[in-house]
């Protein structure tokens, strides 16, 4: 099976950049609306908003469980396939209500696992998570600028990373994937993944000799193999986590899948388009300089 040929001259650079730019604009709107409603760019889960998580194994149906907890603020209920397991999320409760809730739950499901996170502790985790992502971006930007020492390519790589995270956050909001400690870790991993492929493309194009078409095609071949092999492994993890009802792995895998697909669009659409325009602009003065040197040499003769 052959990889599709990456023809950089098939589309105008501005057209290559248009679709990623539109997607980024839509993502900004979605993230902005979510931030206005929740105070976070992604809807916070119980890790950040506070609440109670309950894991039970029972033969009861989902409707029976919902009816049993009719007097409580049940936010969501996830079901594992064939395992008889359920993962329930409840809103924040007072200490008194929490004690009653524990007794009520254990009276019917004695083997239930109950975890509670207070609202104040969740707010602290919110702040720490945002600082972690901010410092990750700053560190990534410093490394990229030191590596290339050219403003436009470096800014493009950093911008692609920001866009990748923004689009992933927007899709998380659309599909109801909440921001938790697990998904925060996945977003931090995405910063590395997105920069990886963009650095590969930028390095091959700027620092290697040869025709631009050949350099980009070689970078595409290597980059797409890297990304698709990673995607294959993560999709397998996603399926296993979904079947086995492992919410943490399921959330991590879902976020990484969204981010890697977004990374493909931005690396080989937006970043490649910017590099084409950048190199076209820098090659013209060089060509004119070479021509003027030839003319001067001819005049001296």
Domains and CATH numbers, the chain: 13-44+120-289 (1.20.1640.10), 51-117 (3.30.70.330)
Count Cα atoms within 13 angstroms, Cβ side, for 244: 11
Which residue from 18, 12, 25, 23 is spatially nearest to 277, judged by alpha carbons?
Answer: 12
pLDDT score recorded for residue 119: 67
The string over 12-24, giving b where at least 16 C-beta atoms fall within 10 Å of a residue's C-beta and e elsewhere, is ebeebbeebbebb
291 band by pLDDT with thresholds 50, 70 and 90: very low
Half-sphere exposure of 175 (CA within 13 A, CB side): 13
Q: Which two tokens stand for residue 294?
A: 């030839």
Q: Could you tell me which residues come within 8 angstroms of residue 243 by beta carbon, excluding any fewer than 6 positions away?
A: 80, 81, 82, 83
Instruction: Tell me how far the alpha carbon of residue 111 is from its chain's centroid.
Output: 36
- Using one digit for the tens of pLDDT, what is the confidence trace for 225-251? 888 999 999 999 999 888 877 778 888
297 has pLDDT over 60: no
Taking every pair of Cα atoms in the chain, the longest distance, rounded to a whole number of angstroms, is 102
pTM for the model stands at: 0.78
Task: Confirm if 278 and 153 have CB atoms less than 8 A apart.
Answer: yes
Residue ranges of the alpha helices (H) in 1-72? 13-38, 46-49, 62-68
The tens digit of pLDDT for each residue in 104-113 reads 999 999 988 8
Alpha-carbon span 264 to 225, nearest angstrom:
11
Q: Beta-strand (E) ranges in the chain?
A: 51-57, 74-79, 85-90, 113-117
């Amino acid at each position: 099976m052959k990889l599709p040929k990456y023809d950089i001259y098939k589309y105008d650079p501005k057209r290559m950049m248009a679709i990623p730019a539109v997607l980024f604009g839509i993502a900004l709107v979605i993230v902005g609306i979510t931030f206005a409603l929740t105070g976070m760019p992604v809807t916070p889960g119980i890790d950040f908003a506070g609440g109670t998580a309950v894991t039970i194994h029972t033969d009861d149906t989902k409707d029976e469980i919902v009816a049993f907890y009719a007097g409580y603020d049940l936010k969501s209920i996830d079901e594992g396939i064939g395992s008889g397991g359920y993962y329930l999320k409840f809103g924040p409760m007072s200490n008194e209500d929490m004690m009653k809730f524990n007794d009520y739950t254990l009276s019917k499901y004695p083997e239930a696992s109950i975890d509670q996170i207070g609202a104040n502790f969740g707010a602290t985790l919110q702040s720490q998570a945002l600082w972690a992502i901010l410092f990750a971006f700053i560190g990534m930007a410093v490394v990229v600028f030191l590596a290339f020492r050219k403003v436009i390519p470096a800014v493009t790589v950093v911008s692609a990373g920001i866009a990748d995270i923004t689009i992933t956050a927007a899709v998380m909001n659309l599909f109801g994937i909440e921001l938790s400690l697990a998904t925060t870790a996945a977003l931090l991993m995405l910063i590395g993944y997105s920069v990886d492929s963009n650095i590969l493309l930028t390095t091959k194009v700027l620092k290697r000799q040869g025709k631009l078409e050949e350099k980009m095609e070689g970078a595409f071949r290597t980059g797409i193999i890297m990304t698709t092999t990673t995607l294959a492994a993560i999709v397998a993890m996603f399926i296993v986590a979904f079947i086995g009802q492992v919410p943490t792995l399921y959330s991590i895998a879902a976020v990484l899948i969204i981010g890697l697909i977004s990374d493909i669009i931005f690396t080989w659409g937006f970043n490649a388009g910017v590099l084409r325009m950048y190199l076209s602009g820098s090659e013209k003065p060089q060509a004119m300089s070479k021509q003027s040197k030839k003319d001067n040499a001819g005049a001296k003769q």
